[in-house]
Structure 1
């Protein structure tokens, strides 16, 4: 794309949708922990809706930036986003029921993302009447923001449910396992990000047929998108 003005609106709405998804995901962890007895995030200034407090240099800036620019230069559209924020600190022992509480705190992030995806899908209905107030170009941008909000929240929520510590899914599994298995399972957390990067980046290069991200985008994401559209009264997904 040679015309900056052509893809600049796409860049802006993609960044906004991704930042909102990541920020509210992390805030949900902090508020859930506070409700269950742990005020660590509040004391450390992380119980906030300010995106800057949750920025991770690699996961929030570098990797999403590369994905955004690469897709915009190649196609002029954003079809996939991936990233993460700086985890909200949680003191498990401060929770009233540590094992159950950690599960609920972990589940709060993906639950927030799925709720935001559903809300964005619901907003499509009033958006149909915005044509009287907005220009055709502005209306198209509004629709793109809603579409990218749905996708960003679904991808972030589903990705975090992978059963790999320190992802939310890993912590949920640890809460379900017997204590004798949960403790060694959580020791994987020190290698968790390396395992994720291996599965997402390295494995597809070693074996093109083994690409969990491509498989998820082709099978899991469409099913989740179809469910959100049905629940919001928008028919079915693509």
Structure 2
């Protein structure tokens, strides 16, 4: 696979912005709702170096890209939140978790609206700008949908723990230390095993692709790009 400097320039910038804003949003909402942990550690910041995880942000997506994985994913350093400091711990945990994906949808909307300004971009920069906007639109939607999977420590898992009755929320919360292993198993190992058995076990990726397609269509319609 030949990856040019141009490819890097139109993928890395929107990816870094998407991840940085996602993580900063978690910290900002936690700060507003009573927990200063992330704020004191400098994680309410638009400096991407404060949020990048070498393995989750760079190595893992690179491995998946080079191995032609059907669904690309990665993660940043989790923003530290002490939920006991929040004004209303269970409910506020939901708002803190939702802040990241909601921010990504807002960024996707902004990218889609920005397409209407492309005629005003100088001709020599138009293609590069368009490719960055297109990738920003896609990356932010994928990041939002992926993070809403109901598996801790993903945001969807935190939302589920905050909303479910305690007898269901507690066992789900206990999965958090194993969440990434579960995801790798569902997204990589299970499809690989299915291939060996002649079965299509790539169910999670299929669900994610379907949901992503619906959201892409909805946002393109809302922004007049359909």
CA contact (8 A) 1:81 1:152 kept: no
Displacement of 1:200: 1.0
Q: What does 1:48-197 correspond to in 2, within 5 Å? A: 48-67=45-64, 70=66, 81-130=72-121, 133-135=122-124, 138-197=125-184
Is 1:212 matched up with 2:203?
A: yes
Are the equivalent residues in 1 in contact too, given 2:71–2:205 (CA < 8 A)? no
Aligned-residue offset at 1:81: 4.4
- 5+ unaligned residues in a row in structure 1: which ranges? none
* Equivalent pair of 1:64/1:82 in contact (CA under 8 Å): yes
Give the distance between the partners of 1:211 and 1:35, measured in 2 at CA.
40
Taking structure 1 as the reference length, the TM-score comes to: 0.87
- In structure 2, the CA distance between the partners of 1:80 and 1:148, relative to structure 1 (3 Å rule), is farther
Of 7-16 and 141-150, deviating more is 7-16
Give RMSD over aligned pairs: 1.9
What is aligned with 1:202? 189
Between Structure 1 and Structure 2, how many residues are aligned?
221
1:18-60 Cα offsets, whole Å, 9 max, x none, are 1111111000000010110110001112111111111112111
Query: Taking structure 2 as the reference length, what is the TM-score of the superposition?
Result: 0.91
Structure 1 stretches of at least 4 aligned residues deviating more than 6 Å after TM superposition: none
TM-fit CA distance, 1:213: 4.9
Offset at 1:66?
Answer: 3.6
The alpha carbon displacement at 1:172 in A equals 0.4
Conservation of the 8 A alpha-carbon contact between 2:10 and 2:131: yes
Query: How far apart, in 2, do the equivalents of 1:84 and 1:106 lie?
Result: 14
Secondary structure, in 3 states, of the residue corresponding to 2:153? coil
Q: Is the 8 A contact 2:24 2:46 kept in 1?
A: yes
Distance 2:53 2:209 in 1: 28
Alpha-carbon distance in structure 2 between the residues aligned to 1:185 and 1:44: 28
- The 1-side partners of 2:213 and 2:224 are apart by 16
The Cα shift of 1:80 comes to 6.6
Cα gap change, 1:10/1:206 in structure 2, threshold over 3 Å: closer, same or farther? same
Q: Residue by residue, what CA displacement relative to the aligned partner does 1:152-209 show, whole Å, maximum 9, x if unpaired?
A: 1011100000000111001101111112321222001111111011011101101141
Structure-2 residue corresponding to 1:26: 23
* Structure 2 residues not aligned, in runs of 5+: none
